[in-house]
């Protein structure tokens, strides 16, 4: 089976590209160990060295990869040569979970395009209309969490699980039209999301097959999630009513006969895609945003001021408010810039031979895009390591630079994030609802030592405790 999967996603023999090598590689492991806990920072540092520059080759176990750094290189590749860099290579972790079907893991081509178009259409239909199921569901979710916080206040709490719960239930609503009180979906997907954090993209077990035996539990978790998803999709199929199409799964089943590549296998992977792409990204971005806001009391004051001025303390926020609230937008943009959910993107592959910046890169080359290098680029941002929402505001406090060329947290080109718009709606509604009702503080005056987060597997902020005070 593995050989079959691999032949679908060919890998390249190192000698065929002219891209120069990066640092010296070790036998068997190649450069894997040199990448350390923060591979995006290590690769970025290498890219700043004259002897390597922004494009170089690394050896990760048996896999040769080309890494792309810097705003202009990344834009040129992903935007100007969008199609050439729109493939996905074989990556063990991703294919064990998503099977090369649906959208995220699918090779670039007609089958992929048909599904990506379907997703965009469905997000517009179920996620972006006024009073959409997403907006209602999201507000309801935050209301429940706010009630819990109010009852407990001022007892210390950790926010990560709450945010995961909200994000997961939002995806459930979008995907199945409802969420499942009796099933702790957030907990289930928390386990699977651990595989999809950015370091896992370049984790040893992807490139050194003999290390997989030590990671058996990861693949057991993946199988558990696959089983739950399949069961829910099957139930939906059995109870399908063409008069009541109120979710992405319903819409897919309804369109099944109309599209060439629609199939049960694609549907299962597509649903898995939504949970993988749309839960951890949202909860993690919010986790960072809340952490940064609480760490900067002046920012929290301005957030409160804008909410009070435009919405007041009682009316629930709605999507329309976004245009009127540049400070909140700036806080969210700055959180995404400081800690983008995917500093090293899901791997790409070239779909045909290309000469890029005078280097020959053949079809099926494994490409790693280091988005961190654009977000932290000193040539693009002043004091890039500091959290400064003001950089996205002009002298009249209107939003500026939301489309700054180095600002690509959702990536660009043919493989850019499908959920960007619904993600922004959720981030806005959840953040505003929480800060409308509460002032948050670190427990007992605790202060973070730095704002880089914990080194480790995930790119999460410190798992610190907060207290919430009703406003």
| Binding positions for ligand HEM, 418-447, rule CB under 6 A | 418-419, 422-423
Residue among 361, 377, 352, 410 at smallest CA distance from 82 = 352
Closer to ligand HEM at the Cβ: 103 or 290? 103
Of the residues 122, 164, 195, 285, which one makes contact with ligand HEM according to CB under 6 A:
285
Residue 322 contacts residue 431 (beta carbons within 8 Å):
no
CA 314 to chain centre: 31
| Binding positions for ligand HEM, 211-270, rule CB under 6 A | none
φ/ψ (deg, to 5) at 371: -65, -30
Cα of first residue to Cα of last residue in the chain, in angstroms, is 58
| Binding positions for ligand HEM, 343-372, rule CB under 6 A | 345-346, 348
Residue 85 contacts residue 78 (beta carbons within 8 Å):
yes
Q: Taking the complex as a whole, how short is the minimal distance between the CB of residue 106 and ligand HEM, in angstroms?
A: 7
Q: Using CB under 6 A, which of the segments 46-54, 250-258, 372-380, 404-412 binds ligand HEM?
A: 404-412
**Is 225 annotated to bind ligand?**
no
Closer to ligand HEM at the Cβ: 139 or 282? 282
Q: Is 93 in the site for ligand HEM (CB under 6 A)?
A: no
Q: Taking the complex as a whole, how short is the minimal distance between the CB of residue 263 and ligand HEM, in angstroms?
A: 17
Residue 368 contacts residue 95 (beta carbons within 8 Å):
no
Residues ≥6 apart with Cβ < 8 Å to 155: 467
Q: Is 17 in the site for ligand HEM (CB under 6 A)?
A: no
CA 137 to CA 348: how far, in whole Å?
A: 34
Q: Using CB under 6 A, which of the segments 17-25, 179-187, 279-287, 299-307 binds ligand HEM?
A: 279-287
Of the residues 65, 168, 232, 282, which one makes contact with ligand HEM according to CB under 6 A:
282
Per DSSP, 353 falls in state: -
Residue nearest to ligand HEM (CB): 419
Q: Is 278 in the site for ligand HEM (CB under 6 A)?
A: yes
Of the residues 98, 267, 274, 429, which one makes contact with ligand HEM according to CB under 6 A:
274
Q: Is 115 strand, coil or helix?
A: helix
Residue among 54, 37, 57, 33 at smallest CA distance from 45 = 54
Closer to ligand HEM at the Cβ: 60 or 345? 345
Q: Taking the complex as a whole, how short is the minimal distance between the CB of residue 420 and ligand HEM, in angstroms?
A: 7
Number of residues that bind ligand HEM (CB under 6 A): 28
CA 224 to CA 219: how far, in whole Å?
A: 9
Closer to ligand HEM at the Cβ: 65 or 208? 65
Q: Is 94 strand, coil or helix?
A: helix
Residue 361 contacts residue 17 (beta carbons within 8 Å):
yes
Residues ≥6 apart with Cβ < 8 Å to 196: 93, 97, 276, 280
Residues belonging to the binding site are: 417
The residues of the shown chain that bind ligand HEM, judged by CB under 6 A, are 103-104, 116, 119, 171, 273-274, 277-278, 281-282, 285, 340-342, 345-346, 348, 409-411, 415-419, 422-423
Residues belonging to the binding site for heme are: 417
């Amino acid at each position: 089976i593995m050989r079959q999967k691999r032949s679908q996603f060919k890998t390249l023999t190192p000698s065929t590209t002219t891209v120069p090598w990066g640092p010296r590689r070790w036998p068997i492991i190649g450069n894997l160990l040199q990448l350390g806990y923060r591979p995006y920072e290590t690769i970025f540092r290498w890219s700043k060295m004259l002897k390597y520059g922004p494009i170089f080759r690394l050896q990760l176990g048996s896999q040769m990869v080309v890494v792309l750094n810097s705003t202009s290189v990344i834009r040129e590749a992903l935007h100007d040569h969008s199609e050439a860099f729109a493939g996905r290579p074989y990556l063990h972790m991703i294919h064990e979970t998503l099977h090369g079907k649906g959208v995220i893991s699918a090779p670039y081509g007609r089958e992929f395009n048909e599904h990506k178009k379907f997703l965009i259409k469905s997000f517009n239909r179920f996620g972006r209309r006024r009073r959409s199921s997403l907006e209602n569901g999201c507000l309801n979710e935050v209301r429940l969490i706010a009630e819990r916080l109010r009852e407990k206040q001022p007892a210390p709490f950790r926010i990560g699980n709450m945010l995961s719960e909200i994000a997961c239930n939002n995806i459930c609503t979008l995907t199945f039209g409802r969420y499942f009180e009796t099933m702790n979906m957030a907990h289930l997907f928390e386990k699977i999301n651990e595989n999809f954090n950015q370091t896992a993209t370049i984790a040893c077990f992807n490139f050194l097959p003999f290390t997989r035996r030590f990671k058996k539990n990861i693949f057991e978790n993946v199988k558990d999630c696959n089983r739950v998803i399949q069961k829910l999709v099957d139930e939906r199929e059995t109870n399908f009513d063409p008069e009541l199409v109120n979710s992405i799964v319903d819409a897919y089943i309804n369109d099944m006969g109309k599209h060439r590549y629609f199939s049960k296998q694609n549907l299962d992977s597509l649903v898995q895609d939504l949970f993988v792409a749309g839960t951890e990204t949202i909860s993690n971005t919010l986790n960072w945003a809340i952490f940064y806001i609480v760490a900067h009391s002046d920012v929290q004051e301005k957030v409160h001021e804008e909410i009070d001025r435009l919405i007041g303390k009682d009316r629930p926020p709605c999507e329309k408010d976004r245009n009127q609230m540049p400070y909140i937008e700036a806080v969210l943009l700055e959180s995404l810039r400081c800690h983008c959910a995917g500093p090293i993107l899901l791997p790409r592959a070239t779909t045909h031979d290309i000469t890029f910046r005078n280097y020959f890169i053949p079809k099926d080359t494994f490409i790693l895009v280091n988005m961190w290098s654009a977000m932290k680029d000193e040539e693009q941002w002043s004091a890039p390591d500091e959290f400064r929402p003001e950089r996205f505001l002009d002298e009249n406090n209107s939003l500026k630079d939301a489309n700054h060329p180095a600002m690509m947290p959702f990536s660009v080109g043919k493989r850019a994030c499908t959920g960007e718009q619904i993600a922004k709606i959720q981030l806005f509604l959840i953040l505003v609802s929480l800060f409308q009702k509460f002032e948050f503080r670190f427990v007992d005056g605790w202060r973070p030592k730095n704002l880089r987060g914990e080194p480790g597997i995930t790119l999460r902020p410190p798992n610190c405790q907060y207290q919430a005070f009703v406003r």
